[in-house]
Amino acid sequence: MDPLRQSPSPSSSRASSPRTLPCEMLGYVGIEAVLDQLKIKAMKMGFEFNIMVVGQSGLGKSTMVNTLFKSKMCKSTMPGLGVPTPQTLQLQSVTHVIEESGVKLKLTVTDTPGFGDQINNDKCWDPILGYISEQYEKYLQEEILITRQRHIPDTRVHCCVYFVPPTGHCLRPLDIEFLQRLCRTVNVVPVIARADSLTIEEREAFRHRIQENLKTHGIEVYPQKCFDEDINDKILNSKIRERIPFAVVGADREHIVNGRCVLGRKTKWGIIEVENMAHCEFPLLRDLLIRSHLQDLKDITHNVHYENYRIFRLNESHVLPRGPGWVNLAPAPASVPAPAGPQASPGPPKVCWWAKDNSDEEC
Amino acid sequence: MSSEVARHLQKKENTRSLAMSGHVGFESLPDQLVNRSIQQGFCFNILCVGETGIGKSTLIDTLFNTNFEDHESSHFYPHVRLKAQTYELQESNVRLKLTIVNTVGFGDQINKEESYQPIVDYIDAQFEAYLQEELKIKRSLFNYHDSRIHVCLYFISPTGHSLKTLDLLTMKSLDSKVNIIPVIAKADAISKTELQKFKIKIMSELVSNGVQIYQFPTDDETIAKINASMNGHLPFAVVGSMDEVKVGNKMVKARQYPWGIVQVENENHCDFVKLREMLICTNMEDLRDETHTRHYELYRRRKLEEMGLTDMGPENKPLSLQETYEAKRHEFYGERQRKEEEMKQLFVQRVKEKEAVLKEAERELQAKFEHLKRVHQEEKLRLEEKRRLLEEEIIAFSKKKATSEIYQNQPFMTPGGNVRKDKDRKNSSFM
């Protein structure tokens, strides 16, 4: 929009921002009250958050989710209770609404029992990628309706927590394959599961090896370096990136330690306190996911991953052959493969991150 | 409890509330949201519609406590134009990109039939620009400068009687596109009793003509009461002034008359404080929300339906927007292909014609050349002939000359004296 526009006409090419004149206000006007208005609106609407936990069975995924949200979100499966491990990967989602200090959060947890449990785990990531794409598809279909809803329900996966088994060596081929594919469509936070089986030194060495592995294979986990907007973000996120993957322990039983009631795992040689930074890094994970970066996770999912999916979907029809009178009226395929399919070479493709490279200016 | 989340809950079966056994920490979520908004900055666009000289620029200056523009506009514009100017304001940590759009020349023309159309076109143009951005394949909505008008302040002149026809027509054409807040300008020209009657008359006229003005929202408990009471004070009677006058022992913004001082921020004198409160402090976010979720969606729906896209295809099966778009695109490509063929053929034909014409010209030229060459040859032969004749004549003449000289020399074989005399006599007869 050009200033001093003479005649109103739909402009075909828009400048990114009009020329603005900075102005000094001579007194208090009350503009900052808009922040309160925002808060009121947000509290009224409530928040949504969708998290997916991926990892082999027995790594403590369900327990971790229960510990994160301090409630019985998922039924943690105990070994030896006669429940057979599923033969194929199934995705189970549960949704709960939790409230704290007037803030309502609609939380959806998607569990992936059966991941990596079979003898041949080839393409075991396809159902997961399909599920993620399905959620994007649902949102896209809602968005391109003519009469659309006031608030489109958001079921897109905002964060995927990947549980790495505590072998102490390095990432396994299954992990690498999966992470490569997944980090292009969703925010991935890898964690070292059951970290109570590693000593502190082993933990640090394992962490370094994993970080090197991630770098070698070009896997960008959350928080992604290319989305740091200003120097504060960089500093904060660098600190987090140094500690990724977090070594976590999950527990949903309470024990008495020194007169306090804490969540922990009781063993013969001591009680591992979950919230104690000296014992494990669970507080870091919880702070990252909930207290400081939840909105950021949602933003990146919406502005980057969803947009990439949308570009891919809307461009699909260009690729298909066109003959005279041929019209593609086929519905979207049931499980759309990830944009960078298994044939694509690994490494962060330039096109996917372009959207955030012109990083945020004032709107 | 009227929350969107609860409504969604009722739709889904497998969601239920869960009690937590400890402090998780997501109460910081609204703060995270607010921090992100602070980083991005806010954007607010105001459209001021009113006659020239009614006090639009002054009121905006007073509202935001700055001096935006100095010069007054002329009354002699032939058409209504919209002038937009963007300013960056900052208050503590909130950055606001404020765009003021003024109607220049509104109500000045003798024939006002075309007055409100430019305004409607401008508003539609902003919606169109946003829609274009939204429909792009590679779009960047999060750093898009939103130029859609969030609120329209309609300035009513303080006649004290009723609304003018132009006012009614303009507001009627704008009410489905933008949030309208009517204000009575230069309210210090009306007395209190007249003002009350005027307000009632205006509101009843608006209602009877079916004009939908913006109602301050009353669904949130914290602001419902104040909004409801403000709704009863519409339209606000405002006075704008950036001049400061000493009243008591402080300087206030006011207008000084010989018979008194009208203070802008005094609630007894005018409704300026109410307007500022409602517009900026309480409802800015709601105005932006309404623009996006109601007016823009309405525009979008109408526009897409105009293009022939529907949600339900034939046989009432839900047809996705993309599929109809695809179908239309193929149609368009087929059409374009056909046109291309046509043009190609036309072009080939024209080329052929031109070629024929050029060939003809070439032939003519060639014939002319031959003709000229022949003429030249003939000329040359003739000249050669003439030259030969001439040379023959020269030879004949020189022969004659030689013979006559021989004849001359012969009688000169006599004794010499006579020769000379005869010679002289001959010579003198020559000279």
Predicted confidence band of residue B312 (pLDDT cuts 50, 70, 90): low
- Judged against a pLDDT cut of 50, whether residue A188 lies above it is answered with yes
Question: What integer is the mean pLDDT of A200-214?
Answer: 90
Question: What integer is the mean pLDDT of B11-34?
Answer: 73
Best residue in A104, A286, A301, A351 for a mutation probing chain B (most B CBs within 10 Å): A104
Report the predicted TM-score, pTM, of the whole model to 2 decimal places.
0.72
CA atoms within 13 A on the CB side of B319: 17
Residue B291 is predicted with a pLDDT of 92
Question: What integer is the mean pLDDT of A82-89?
Answer: 60
In B, which residues are within 8 Å of A361 by CB distance? 41, 143
A352 CA to chain B: closest CA distance, Å? 11
Residue A326 is predicted with a pLDDT of 33
Least confident of A92-96, A125-129, B67-71, B167-171: B67-71
B61 touches chain A (CB under 8 A): no
**Joined tokens for residue B53:** 């000289």
A317 touches chain B (CB under 8 A): yes
Return residues 347-386 of B near A (CB < 8 Å). none
Contact (CB, 8 A) for B272 and B256: no
- Judged against a pLDDT cut of 70, whether residue B414 lies above it is answered with no
Return residues 245-304 of B near A (CB < 8 Å). 276-277, 280-286, 289, 293, 297, 300-301, 304
- Judged against a pLDDT cut of 80, whether residue A2 lies above it is answered with no
- Cross-chain CB nearest to A32 (options B92, B119, B145): B92
Q: Are strands B180-184 and A270-273 parallel, antiparallel or unpaired?
A: unpaired
Instruction: Tell me which residue has tokens 């007055």.
Output: B115
Return residues 26-45 of A near B (CB < 8 Å). 26-35, 37-45
pLDDT for B339-395, tens place per residue?
Answer: 999 999 999 999 999 999 999 999 999 999 999 999 999 999 999 999 999 999 999
Report how far residue B31's alpha carbon sits from residue A38's, in angstroms, rounded to the nearest whole number: 10
Residue B224 sits at φ, ψ, to 5 deg, of: -60, -45
* Topology (CATH) of A36-76+85-316: Rossmann fold (3.40.50)
Residue B10 is predicted with a pLDDT of 43
Predicted confidence band of residue A243 (pLDDT cuts 50, 70, 90): confident
Contact (CB, 8 A) for B328 and B308: yes
Return residues 191-220 of B near A (CB < 8 Å). 220
- Judged against a pLDDT cut of 60, whether residue A333 lies above it is answered with no
Domain coordinates in residue numbering, chain A: 36-76+85-316
A299 CA to chain B: closest CA distance, Å? 9
At A249, the amino acid letter reads V
A326 touches chain B (CB under 8 A): yes
B182 CA to chain A: closest CA distance, Å? 21
- Cross-chain CB nearest to B129 (options A14, A144, A291): A14
Share of chain A above pLDDT 90, in %: 12
B257 CA to chain A: closest CA distance, Å? 24
How big is chain B by its Cα radius of gyration, in Å? Answer: 49
Residue A226 is predicted with a pLDDT of 79
Residue A87 is predicted with a pLDDT of 59
Residue B107 is predicted with a pLDDT of 81
B320 touches chain A (CB under 8 A): yes
State the ipTM, two decimals.
Answer: 0.74
When the pLDDT of each residue in chain B is averaged and rounded to a whole number, the result is: 83
B140 CA to chain A: closest CA distance, Å? 7
pLDDT for B82-131, tens place per residue?
Answer: 888 888 888 888 888 889 998 888 888 887 777 888 899 999 999 999 98
In B, which residues are within 8 Å of A11 by CB distance? 125, 129
Residue A94 is predicted with a pLDDT of 87
Contact (CB, 8 A) for A62 and A76: yes
